[in-house]
Amino acid sequence: MLRRRLLLGACGSCVGLAGADAPGPWQFLHNGPESADDRRYDYHWQVLRAALEATRAEFGGYTLEPVSHMTESRQVLEMQRPGGLINTLVLDSTRALERQLMPVKVPVDKGLLGYRLFLIRARDQARFSQVRTLDELRRFVIGQQADWADVAIYRAAGFTVVGSSAYRALFPMLMAGRFDALGRGVTEVEQELAAQRQRFPGMRIESELLLHYPLAVYFWFAPSDEGRRRWQRVSAGMRQISADGTLDRLFKREFGEVVARLGLRERRLLEIPNPLLPAGQPFEQTGLWFDPRR
């Protein structure tokens, strides 16, 4: 979710007022896109920029910049390494990640990524149209990138999963019959299909099913002095844009038409648990979360 090469919130020489005792400007470095047509995280960085703008009066200016693309596992390693290539991460919560990094517990996409659709071969739609239960869906082999947390979620729910070491390889693997369905988030699937349409005209979005598992996508920071400064600022900003309606407006602007187009409310909803998700998520704050039935 094409990504801007550089998002400047202010002059790089500015130092946040609340962090004036710390060296250097407020610099936020994050993972870059995998390819020119990879727009999966555009929205996330728009939200982060809104949170940083909301705290400008208190904390001062900032820069927000992408670096070269790396896998999710590499991103986590770089976040933990002093002087790592990135200092800002957006990723779904797991027990392991919450032991390693500090999450800002306001879900960036209101939990929408936990609602999964499938990219399939068009000729297979009739087979998927017959699915009414999880047991029937388990007859299909699911494709995912090998280091995505979704792999463990699907397998814990009894699905057979085929992994790929590279995101771009998933699409030709699907069309070559290596697996039956590529599970994708509601926020991703249309853009991915559009990017692959010319190469794979026989690919389509499955039209009747909606799989859900709880997924909390947060911004993450290292438990270092610098990381805690960034965590403090982004926490304050995310609370502010959630309370004043900015986050809802960004969400509706980005996803409102997509949710309507994909007909989420009319689809057959199947639920599976997320055994990777630790306790302590703010599910009781229902206003933070998307629900297609509301």
pLDDT of residue 38: 81
What class is the 7-111+216-261 domain?
alpha beta
What is the structure's pLDDT at 18? 39
Return the pLDDT at 4: 36
Q: pLDDT value at position 20?
A: 35
CATH homologous superfamily, domain 114-212: Periplasmic binding protein-like II (3.40.190.10)
Question: What pLDDT score was predicted for residue 127?
Answer: 98
pLDDT of residue 110: 96
Q: What is the pLDDT along the chain (294 residues), one digit of tens a residue?
A: 333 333 333 333 333 333 333 435 799 999 999 888 788 899 999 999 999 999 999 999 999 999 999 999 999 999 999 999 999 999 999 999 999 999 999 999 999 989 999 999 999 999 999 999 999 999 999 999 998 889 999 999 999 999 999 999 999 999 999 999 999 999 889 989 999 999 999 999 999 999 999 999 999 999 999 999 999 999 999 999 999 999 999 999 999 999 999 999 999 999 999 998 999 999 999 999 999 988
DSSP states of the chain as a string? ----S-EESS-TT---STTTTSSS--EEEEPPPSSTT--TTHHHHHHHHHHHHHTHHHH---EEEE-S---HHHHHHHHHSTT-S-S-EEEE--HHHHHHSEEE-S-TTTTGGGEEEEEEEGGGHHHHHT--SHHHHTTSPEEEETTSTHHHHHHHTT--EEEESSGGGHHHHHHTTS-SEEEEETTTHHHHHHHHTTT-TTEEE-SSEEEE----EEEEE-SSHHHHHHHHHHHHHHHHHHHTTHHHHHHHHHHHHHHHHTTGGGSEEEE---TTPPS---TT-GGGS--TT-
Residues of the chain with CATH 3.40.190.10: 7-111+216-261, 114-212
